[in-house]
Structure 1
Amino acid sequence: MEGDQVTLPCRYSVQRYGRSSVCWGRGCGALWCSGAILQMDGSRVVSKTSEKYRLAGNLRLGLVDLTIGNISRADGGPYCCRVDINGYFNDKKVLHTIQVTQAVTPFPAPVGPHGEKSDPYTDRYPDSEPLPLLEEYTLNPRPNHPEVGSTNAEPTPSLPLHVYSPALYLSVSLLFLLLLGLVALLGFKRKLHQRCSFRGSLAGREPRHIIWAIEARRPVEENIYTLD
């Protein structure tokens, strides 16, 4: 955000390349930094365009970080660290991009006509009373908070028990219908059992056509033989 401080890292191996010249710029040019803002010759800083830029590393160890203080919107964009290494096209390049956002300012408190802080609610409703504290809302309020064991303490009111009548009636009706169905089922099974027992007893004593006639409740015509 605006006003912050940022450090851009950049380092190289002094043991391998020796102390080298380094530049920081707003871009990496063809031969050197374009728009150079800070330059070093391997042992010290030789130039910088503003006091807001400073070296935040150790040149002897190859630490050449760039610190930018009091960031502004104009400081956003690309940055390039370029280390001069002997040979053609051997320079080391480190690229960074800074994105700066606008600082968020806190919402100012309302100020009265005489410079004092005001409350929007009380200013709009001057005759309103302040709301009671949360601890004043209790399930069993006891006035004046009597001491334990005092006989003047009011008893805690009990909550009335409300029964939902339609639901009770519906439950009783369903239970009654269930009992009727159970009795009817038991009677049907008993009647079926008796009928099967009756058929079994007749099957052992009478012919099949007589049993069928008895069940169908038809008159039975027996064969009558006349002997001369």
Structure 2
Amino acid sequence: MCPVVVPIFCLLLFLRAGEVLSSSDVAVTATAGHNVTLPCRSSSYKSGVHVCWGRGECPFTGQCGSNEIYKWDGRVHRMSDKYQLTGDIQRGDLSLTVVNVTMEDGGLYCCRIEIPGLFNDEKNSMWLRVTEATTTVPSPVEHQTEPGSAAGHFLDGDRQPIHVPVIMVTSLLLLLIVLISFLVYKRASHRKLKTGSAQQVCTLQERVGVEENIYNIEEPDTSEPCP
């Protein structure tokens, strides 16, 4: 029995070693939310050959096992629209595209191409590493003085610039005009009052002079003539 068991065991080890050597381990990195393509090419692919993709390691025999996610045998068999063959299959491009990758999609994948003959299948294994999408926080917008703008102008949000010096100068001019008008009016009133007082004094003096003249004219001469 031993002479029979040993050759069979050696044959299995040889086949297993050939399977490991024929498979290629590739690492692919993708960002969550994006599409990623897992490469798989065959130079010996012919029309009618079956191809399958699965999660995890490729089985020793058979197809992709219970973890099969995509199969092509002239017709498309896939677990979800998430998985697509977008390459030129007739030229041996059997790469699998995973749409809208999520963190759960990371892990080991297997591409198996069934070649006619005993233990002739081509197997390609690859790791998919998924990284989280980085979100950029927008920096706060600072209100800066635009080039060529005069000092004292500022922006109030999205409103138009307010000209502070113009408002201040206008207010000062109005105040100055009011003050000058008040002084002119006061001075004119003072002159008018002064002129009126002078006229009253002159009139009073004239009346007093007239009364004295009348008194002098009407007073009779009672003195006796000198002898």
Range of TM-score over shorter length? 0.3 to 0.5
Larger Rg: 2
Structure ranking higher in helix proportion: 2
